[in-house]
Structure 1
Amino acid sequence: MTFLNPTALLGTLLALPIVVFYLLKTRPRRVPVSTVMFWQQVFEEKKTRTLWRQLRHLVSLLLQLLWLSLLLVAVADPVFTSQARQPRRVVVVIDTSASMQATESDGRTRMDAAKVVMTDLVASLRAADEMAIVAAHTSPTVVSGLTSHPPTLTRLTESIRTTDGAADVPAAIRVAQRLLAKHPNGEVIVVSDGCFPQATKLAADPGVKWSQVGSTPGNVGITQFQVRRNVSDPLSYQTLIEIRNMNDNAAECSVEIQLNGRLLDVLPLSLEPKEVWHRVLEQTSAEGGVLTTKLDLAESSADGSVSAQPTTLNALAADDEASAVLLARKSIPVTLVTDGNWFLQRVLEANSVVELTVATNPPQSLPSDRILILHRNVPDVIPAGHVIVIQPNSSTDLWERNSTIDEPLIGQQDDASELLRHVRLDNVLLPQVSEIVPRGEHQALIETVSGAPLYVRFPREGGDVLVLTIDLEKSDLPLRTAFPILLSNALSFLSGHSGDMMEAITAGQSTTISLPPALLRSDGNTTTNLSLIAPDGSQRVIRAAASNELVLTLDQAGVWKLQAENLQPADSAAEDSAHSQELLLACNVADAQESDLQLATVVSTTTEASAAGPAGRPAWMYLTLAAALFAVVEWGLFHRRWIA
């Protein structure tokens, strides 16, 4: 046995005044009395009790010396010699994944239980021991470096919060092992519910100890929620919903769908055990915004009453709501210049977002938001603005027209381009196409096997130009569904409304965001400050490069906002809306692994072997309790006149 604070034993000198006070006798005070006859009897009784009085003094003295000894030894912090020579280095990995938000039968979450375990581990530290804390987020985060200060560890433990995504526990364990730095008495302790794929494998590692929290409650959750515009009808949209019942019992629930807070539909569901329910719903609206779905679970009791959101069947609330961003569809003014093509005109008229104007000659000038479509006849100089050219019959400043190509074969198609989304022309009949040779910068979207462009884009500062060289009257392209989709993609791209969906992000996963031009404008700089606002209102500033792409990892379910700081509008028309320009990002749990709260088979190995004393408490704590007990005993014996 040794002491970590041996200087505290100097307090044994306090025993000297205690003994001195007990040895000192009070000198009797002389008082004149009329007779000693009555006092003589008292003196005789006192002689018979002298031995007991001395014993009472001795017992009181021993109790107080024992109390002082216990207190001093506790302050000296005794440990076994083997423990003092072998200080521990402990790194605790805490799982912060969405499943740790699950509510157990006692009303506490799994994270609450994990913090209780962490508090016990901190209390088991000896003076020479060190501890660090690593939070297993999407990427590991060192919450506390190695320290021997329990209050700091306790405070930082309370600051740990769960996320709505999956946790990379294996990566956090690797960080913990690096913190150990091959310490001879190093320990890695994982506090988790084990609801991740590698849990069973990692638990078999002898170098990692486990403390598993949680029971096996059921859950019903939304595991997929996406929305996109219909390819053939820009005003309609399709909503994909997937709901899983992870219970061993059937569940009755309802799904509520809202658009910008306005109720659209309520679907009652009856889910069998382990059932996966998914539907694609179609609705119509030109309005964009936030589409939200909410899951309400109800359980009937024996008396017929209904209780909402029972924790026995739905322990995780984070996956009961999901969001998606529906892209708005604004009207697109289009001017068609043609000498007559029934198919082309009807396709444009059938597009519900197109405001069509038909003309036989190109207009002298066009508003900046209007798209010009030229069929066959083209001027020598393509006018400024966004222009679509179909079957050009002459050369211009952007290309030189040679002759025609008979029955060409398609050799290459840029499937990654937004202009060719959901479009394939491999089986289209092409009797004849115009052969053009591009001048200057261009992007070939579709080429023949000989390299002649069939569909080409000319990027310009004043507006892009798209050229389709196919003869619509001889080809069967106008009869195929690819033709209206091709035109719809072109109109959306040129009008700045490209894309039929903005995919909802899975919490915890890195994703690449394409920034709109409004968030890229800056006063001559290559970057601009962007504010990323989380669903809980917290905000952080990030620097976005002018490459209009941004890689983000969102760890909180809900709708995020990406706004430009100090945005300088390009013109007075945009000045009023400069402060309202923002990009909405929907983030959901959307992870069946996190929604499934069934615990993995992991044996907890954090036993008393890792503790400093019995039941995981240091010896000084028990000595302090014993000292307090003896103080109470001494106080009670004194008041019952058993000791002096």
Structure 2
Amino acid sequence: MFHFVGVPLQQLFLVGGIAGGLIVVFYILKLKRRPVAVPFSKIWDRILRDKQATSLFSQLKRLLSLLLQLLVLALLLFALGDPRTAAKRTEGRNVVVLVDTSASMQAADVEPTRLSAGLLKLSSIVRGLGSSDRMMIAQMDSTITPLSTLTGDVPELERAVGAVRPSDTRADFARGLRFATDTLRGLSSPEIIVVSDGAIGAPVDAQGPVTLGDVKLSYIHVGERNRNAAITGFSVRRYPLDKTRYEAMVEVTNTGEEELDLELRLYGDEMQTHLFRFKLPAGQKDSRFLTNLSGASHRLRAEISLVTPEAETDPNTGRPVRVHDDLPADDVAYALMPERRRARIQVVTDGNNTYLDAALLLDEYLDVTTVSPAKYPTEGAFDVTIFDNVAPAVAPGSGHVLYINPTGKDVPFTVDKELTSEDEGLGFDEIDADHPIVRHTQLTTVNIGRAHILKGNKEDKVVGSSFKGPIMIAGRRAGMKFVAIGFDVRESDLPLRISWPLLVLNIINDFVEEDTSYISSFQTGSVWRIPAPSTLQEAELVRNQLPAEDAPPEAKETEVDKRLVPIEEGRAVYFGDRAGFYTLRTKGGGPEGSVSDSKDDDESFTTEFAANLADPVESVIKPQDKLVIGDKEAGEVEGFTIGVRNEIWAYLLIAVVAISVIEWLTYHRRITV
């Protein structure tokens, strides 16, 4: 008994009836004698003698021609129905292939990479798919992406294999298995094929261990060795008092099984600035805190490579050839420093505070305007306003606010009772050392003559407090930050300490860095929320691909992976899976540009950020020969033999071609004329 798995049988009968009727009608209309010119002779006697014998054969020939055309139509209709026997229909396998595209699959211990070798094996399996088998191919990294439907169409599956792309994330094996088991639930002969190096972690998630039940598990193993070192940490920041210089922290981890002789190079704005050589034993980390660096204004890149006894030179570029370990993807890390733009500072004061003026003079990128309370507010927009011993109502365009010794009721907090130095040595008894505004300061030894207790909302943070209560708080109102210092610095010894200018510049940096939408780097495999103007609905995100090491010196970076990303509540939302430098800009913007100084200039919005792999777990690329899930061990892939697929519709089409050829030959040989 046959089952039709293609076009439904009812539609086949409908199409067959209409097409068959048209063939019969056209055949009747076409039926006529064919005139043949012959020379006049005494052949009429022969014709008259043969006419009786051949009239019946002529009718049979015309009927045979009609039947052949109807037979061709019937064969075509049956081929569209894709008929299959009941036995083959039940024996067909339903297979979900999980292709591991995590960062470790970019390892080059097999040529050209582990992922390419695995896809080559998968292509052979696809070509060996049985006529009743169905397969789905899904890409597995930190998310699961189906690249095909559950189908037996080999060309579609081959296109899915060609669409697989590597990512710079770890693989979520548990999610991939749950996706596969959900897809195969209720189907006959279910099977999961995992294409991986086995370095994918345990199949356990928040729901617990994954169980496969009666699903068959097969494993395509790739990978040979584990020789790898990775940059597992990279961060950079400018010095508050000298923004032309910066410091960096680089952590390199040897995740392999042998000692490696490494080179660490730092690039500033794509020019090499520093080179370090060191040996790193297997399984060890090397953390380097590099201080007082210079030579870069915006972009920084760290890269490691193996030290070779005799470095070869590229004949095309003249540069030394870098020899990498088995996984080049984690040999590079990226970071951005905030643009050094001038911040507009407004100082509202009722006196001459030379200590405050001196602190603001230390940063050449501060554009300071000093006004009296009577002239506040002035024209223009400011990034930061400092109220020194005054506290008027905050006017629009004032930006973030620093209060020094505030009084009155026009403040977003409560100024409580006064404390004096007679209260057992007034000063900072507790400091929130993790808060960025007190970074690199020492405030616990400061002596204060007089102060006021400050009480904010429950969302506000107490940065510093005496034994009687908070005297320095930080918070946010209407989207703008504020910091309040509850004493006059001139009534303390704080201005005599280096902590005073650091405190002022830290507060301004904390305000301004957020306004410039600066983010040093994101980590791949997570949802990125990039600051963007809240007035925009979407923005264009591009990845800036640097020239290859063997590219000519004049080669420039190119923009790849262009896409539109939505903006929700002032954040562009995107799930990042590739490391590198990125540009987020207004839709349709050009490749050039920088962050605008105007916060309202949404039409030309452009910002840059970096993304890194920096995953010590994913950098462990030791291949696993066996894949075990629960008590089930994966076996080798079986039953996918390349050959002629036993599909009935293919034979029906062959029969149609054969009948057409026979019809053509008999017609031209005057047999069916």
Interval of TM-score (by shorter of Structure 1 and Structure 2): 0.5 to 0.7
Q: Is the 8 A contact 2:345 2:369 kept in 1?
A: yes
- Three-state SS of the structure 2 residue aligned to 1:594 is coil
Superposed displacement of residue 288, structure 1:
4.1
2: CA distance between counterparts of 1:590 and 1:231? 27
> Which segment drifts farther, 176-185 or 250-259?
250-259
Q: Is the 8 A contact 1:300 1:306 kept in 2?
A: no
Instruction: State whether structure 2 residue 619 is matched by structure 1 residue 595.
Output: yes
- Three-state SS of the structure 2 residue aligned to 1:584 is strand
1: CA distance between counterparts of 2:467 and 2:154? 73
What corresponds to 2:221 in structure 1?
A: 212
What corresponds to 1:471 in structure 2?
A: 488
1: CA distance between counterparts of 2:337 and 2:368? 25
**Cα RMSD after superposing both structures:** 4.6
Instruction: State whether structure 2 residue 158 is matched by structure 1 residue 127.
Output: no
Superposed displacement of residue 191, structure 1:
0.9
| 1:474–1:300 CA distance, 2 compared to 1 (3 A) | same
| 1:275–1:381 CA distance, 2 compared to 1 (3 A) | closer
User: Alignment identity in percent?
Assistant: 22
Q: Is the 8 A contact 1:98 1:164 kept in 2?
A: yes
1: CA distance between counterparts of 2:475 and 2:634? 64
Q: Is the 8 A contact 2:247 2:291 kept in 1?
A: yes
What corresponds to 1:432 in structure 2?
A: 450
Superposed displacement of residue 586, structure 1:
0.8
- Three-state SS of the structure 1 residue aligned to 2:304 is strand
Q: Any residues of structure 2 matched to 1:625-640 within 5 Å, and which? A: none
Q: Any residues of structure 2 matched to 1:165-564 within 5 Å, and which? A: 165-198=169-202, 207=215, 208-230=217-239, 234-283=243-292, 288-300=297-309, 314-334=325-345, 337=349, 339-341=351-353, 343-354=355-366, 365=378, 367-369=380-382, 371-376=384-389, 378=390, 385-386=398-399, 387-392=401-406, 394-395=407-408, 397-398=410-411, 404-406=418-420, 407=423, 430=448, 432-434=450-452, 454-455=472-473, 459=477, 466-475=483-492, 477-478=494-495, 483-495=500-512, 502-513=519-530, 515=531, 519-520=532-533, 522=535, 527-535=536-544, 537-546=560-569, 548-564=570-586
2: CA distance between counterparts of 1:602 and 1:181? 25
1: CA distance between counterparts of 2:635 and 2:246? 53
**1:44-77 per-position Cα deviation (integer Å, ceiling 9, x unaligned):** xxxxxxxxxxxxxxxxxxxxxxxxxxxxxxxxx9
1: CA distance between counterparts of 2:285 and 2:415? 57
1: CA distance between counterparts of 2:534 and 2:143? 32
Superposed displacement of residue 233, structure 1:
5.0
What corresponds to 2:657 in structure 1?
A: none
- Three-state SS of the structure 2 residue aligned to 1:544 is strand
- Three-state SS of the structure 1 residue aligned to 2:192 is strand
2: CA distance between counterparts of 1:194 and 1:437? 56
Residue from 83, 89, 93 that aligns with 1:88: 93
1: CA distance between counterparts of 2:458 and 2:635? 67
- Three-state SS of the structure 1 residue aligned to 2:164 is coil
2: CA distance between counterparts of 1:175 and 1:87? 21
> Which segment drifts farther, 253-262 or 318-327?
253-262
- Three-state SS of the structure 1 residue aligned to 2:308 is strand
What corresponds to 2:26 in structure 1?
A: none
2: CA distance between counterparts of 1:305 and 1:168? 39
What corresponds to 1:607 in structure 2?
A: 636
2: CA distance between counterparts of 1:97 and 1:358? 56
**1:538-592 per-position Cα deviation (integer Å, ceiling 9, x unaligned):** 222122123x23443211121111112379xxxx996998665312121122222
Aligned pair count reads 525
Superposed displacement of residue 368, structure 1:
2.8
2: CA distance between counterparts of 1:575 and 1:360? 26
1: CA distance between counterparts of 2:474 and 2:116? 60
Superposed displacement of residue 179, structure 1:
0.7
| 1:441–1:280 CA distance, 2 compared to 1 (3 A) | closer
Q: Is the 8 A contact 1:287 1:329 kept in 2?
A: no
| 1:498–1:281 CA distance, 2 compared to 1 (3 A) | farther
Superposed displacement of residue 367, structure 1:
4.7
- Three-state SS of the structure 1 residue aligned to 2:200 is coil
Superposed displacement of residue 290, structure 1:
1.7
Q: Is the 8 A contact 1:433 1:454 kept in 2?
A: no
| 1:258–1:340 CA distance, 2 compared to 1 (3 A) | same
2: CA distance between counterparts of 1:209 and 1:543? 39
2: CA distance between counterparts of 1:400 and 1:143? 59
Superposed displacement of residue 354, structure 1:
3.6
**1:475-532 per-position Cα deviation (integer Å, ceiling 9, x unaligned):** 454466654443223323554656997342222223433x1xxx3153xxxx522111
Q: Return the letter of the residue paired with 2:565.
A: I
- Three-state SS of the structure 2 residue aligned to 1:144 is coil
- Three-state SS of the structure 1 residue aligned to 2:330 is coil
Q: Is the 8 A contact 1:531 1:563 kept in 2?
A: yes
Superposed displacement of residue 163, structure 1:
0.9
1: CA distance between counterparts of 2:211 and 2:308? 36
> Which segment drifts farther, 355-364 or 89-98?
355-364
**1:376-414 per-position Cα deviation (integer Å, ceiling 9, x unaligned):** 3x376666625533124x536448867623458989988
Superposed displacement of residue 465, structure 1:
6.1
- Three-state SS of the structure 2 residue aligned to 1:183 is coil
1: CA distance between counterparts of 2:520 and 2:484? 30
2: CA distance between counterparts of 1:229 and 1:449? 34
Instruction: State whether structure 2 residue 105 is matched by structure 1 residue 100.
Output: yes
1: CA distance between counterparts of 2:144 and 2:198? 17
Q: Is the 8 A contact 2:244 2:297 kept in 1?
A: no
Q: Is the 8 A contact 1:563 1:583 kept in 2?
A: yes
Q: Is the 8 A contact 1:203 1:602 kept in 2?
A: no
Q: Return the letter of the residue paired with 1:488.
A: L
2: CA distance between counterparts of 1:403 and 1:508? 51
What corresponds to 2:71 in structure 1?
A: none
Q: Return the letter of the residue paired with 2:405.
A: Q
| 1:436–1:314 CA distance, 2 compared to 1 (3 A) | closer
| 1:456–1:295 CA distance, 2 compared to 1 (3 A) | closer
2: CA distance between counterparts of 1:355 and 1:152? 62
Q: Is the 8 A contact 1:464 1:494 kept in 2?
A: yes
Q: Return the letter of the residue paired with 1:226.
A: S
2: CA distance between counterparts of 1:449 and 1:576? 44
**1:240-278 per-position Cα deviation (integer Å, ceiling 9, x unaligned):** 222233444444443332222233223334444444322
- Three-state SS of the structure 2 residue aligned to 1:145 is coil
| 1:370–1:315 CA distance, 2 compared to 1 (3 A) | closer
- Three-state SS of the structure 1 residue aligned to 2:112 is coil
Residue from 162, 168, 183 that aligns with 2:166: 162
Residue from 128, 135, 142 that aligns with 1:138: 142
Q: Return the letter of the residue paired with 1:559.
A: F
